[in-house]
Chains A and B, each alone.
Chain A
């Protein structure tokens, strides 16, 4: 599950959109009818959808925050990942804004508490020519037009969130926006079970003349309201803006020396586009019939070198130069390292992160499959390739791409005269 947090976020977003659109058909966007229209939802369909909508919103918060913490803990926010990191920060604001406004539509005392708390917070920053809270103070101030605004916000903010999510994955090759089927079905089933076990209910109807002594609040989405009353609107603004500024500045604050980006050899590049297709960070593009590396996006994982058809050790040249390569770890270096261990009973290729030893590669997908055949033909009885443990590739797609290449499903593929047997993170090769 932890490897699919981003995809789970997309799944929950679509679940929220689908349930929200269905509920909107039944929703009466008027002061007089809103509360009642929600109360009239039958438990087995509308009520179930409403509960799933709420719980999916809470799960969305958990998944997004877990995704953020996981990427932070793994250091995946600096350098070539800065774009994805920074573009994710406003999504947190949009997520909370979408969720908080959604509560106002219910028009119960929780909505009243949340709307007024938000208005007081905005007033604390001087936002708006008039205090927004004045819209909620008396029955005469509250009109159906206000509901049109709520609905507009509850549709517009999630649409802005979706647009932001699209931008967020723009620098990723093959972004994982679809959760594995078992995970998706399991998540939806569990949310439905929770909705059945504990259906969501409205609180008392919004009463402008009353202030409830206790409110059931959603602590995932509305935690900021109690926090503001425990401190002050100014303190909450300082916390929110400070945290945002810190997250945005993190790629610069925690900057590290970068690995040398890949380079293209114009004489050896035939413009086949395999490196473009395989780059996990959209850092390679074709210009005319030549590949071009966008250095600021390059992770220096070497996956492009592993995809290059000219990166074959069988070439009878003294200096093996491939169409695209890492300047500090070339395929020529790789061939030299391989030749140094041959002849050998077993040759082991592994990615650095696995720590499995043998010939260490920056990523297993840096290994062109022809190197496996080369080792076998040069006397190795077997060749093994070990990638990142539990498939969690440091460079996102390394395990997936190398598996497809070894299985003959992706270029450059392993030739048919080599048999590949995969067991967990390791693949063993032998000549047929």
Chain B
């Protein structure tokens, strides 16, 4: 009798537990974006130009260096930070300074930005400055039609002319 009661009590615990697992393993559903929204992803990896150009070392400078270190050119490794702007329908939604990675600041600058937007037609402008100073080195402005649930990927490839819009 006691054994039967124990089994009944165990079942009374296990069955709701299994029901709990069965339900929460796939429900309730989660909405990463709204039903009438699309997504803009701005992501790139870009190495900006060096902050300063290479310069030739003088004979005195070379003499001061160890024999195995006497390279004729002194090339500073540090790269300039990037300034990125993203504008949606005339409104600035992102303005960020992206620093190069690495202890010496000589690596790539990377950006990943996720922006849910209402589905429909949008005027999107994206700008990048890679040198110290004013203005932008790369600009692209497009009108895009974004269907609900679709993703616009904005990438940047300098060798292909700058920003790429991929729908």
Chain A residues in the interface with B (C-beta under 8 A): 1, 54-55, 58-59, 62, 113, 117, 120, 123, 129-131, 133-134, 137-138, 186-187, 190-191, 193-194, 197-198, 200, 208-220, 225-226, 229
Contacts and interface: CB of A to CB of B under 8 A. Distances in A.
B58 interface: no
A213 to B, nearest CB: 5
Contact of A220 (B25, B41, B110, B149): B25
B45 interface: yes
Contacts of A129: 101, 107-108, 110
Interface in B136-167: 148-151, 153, 155, 166-167
B10 interface: yes
A217 B27 CA distance: 6
Interface string B13-49: 1110110111011110111111101110101010000
Given A134-B45, A138-B166, A214-B31, 20 more contacts: A55-B21, A58-B25, A62-B21, A131-B110, A133-B41, A137-B43, A137-B153, A187-B14, A190-B15, A197-B22, A200-B25, A208-B151, A210-B151, A211-B33, A211-B38, A213-B37, A217-B29, A219-B25, A220-B21, A225-B30
B148 A213 contact: yes
Given A211-B149, A213-B148, A226 B25 contact: no
B137 to A, nearest CB: 21
A213 B10 contact: no
Interface string B61-102: 000000000000000000000000000000000000000010
Contact of A130 (B30, B33, B38, B45): B45
Kindly list the 10 A-B residue pairs having the minimum CB-CB distance in the complex, ordered from nearest. Answer: A131-B112, A214-B29, A216-B26, A219-B24, A211-B39, A58-B21, A194-B18, A213-B35, A198-B22, A226-B30
Contacts, number: 111
B33 to A, nearest CB: 5
27 contacts: A59-B21, A113-B30, A113-B32, A120-B114, A129-B110, A130-B45, A133-B112, A134-B45, A138-B166, A187-B14, A190-B14, A190-B18, A208-B151, A209-B151, A209-B166, A210-B149, A211-B32, A211-B39, A212-B32, A212-B149, A213-B34, A214-B31, A215-B29, A216-B26, A217-B30, A220-B24, A229-B32
A213 B112 contact: no
A186 B10 contact: yes
Contact of A134 (B10, B31, B112, B150): B112
Contacts of A130: 45, 108, 110
A290 B14 CA distance: 48
Given A133-B112, A194-B22, A209 B45 contact: no
Residue in B22, B39, B153 with the greatest tally of chain A CB atoms within 10 Å: B22
A193 B18 CA distance: 9
Contacts of A217: 26, 29-30
A218 B29 contact: no
Contacts of B10: 1, 186
Contacts of B30: 113, 214-215, 217, 225-226
The interface size bin for chain B is 35 or more
A131 B107 CA distance: 14
A174 to B, nearest CB: 24
A213 B22 contact: no
B17 A213 contact: no
B22 A1 contact: no
Contacts of B31: 213-215
Contacts of A186: 10, 14
A134 B166 CA distance: 13
A391 to B, nearest CB: 13
A398 B130 CA distance: 71
Contacts of B38: 211
A96 to B, nearest CB: 15
Nearest to A222: B30
Nearest to A225: B30
A55 B108 CA distance: 42
B25 A213 contact: no
Contact of A218 (B13, B25, B39, B150): B25
B104 to A, nearest CB: 14
B43 A133 contact: yes
Contacts of A215: 29-32
A258 B151 CA distance: 60
A197 B15 CA distance: 13
A414 to B, nearest CB: 27
Contacts of B35: 213
A426 B21 CA distance: 38
Contacts of B150: 209-211
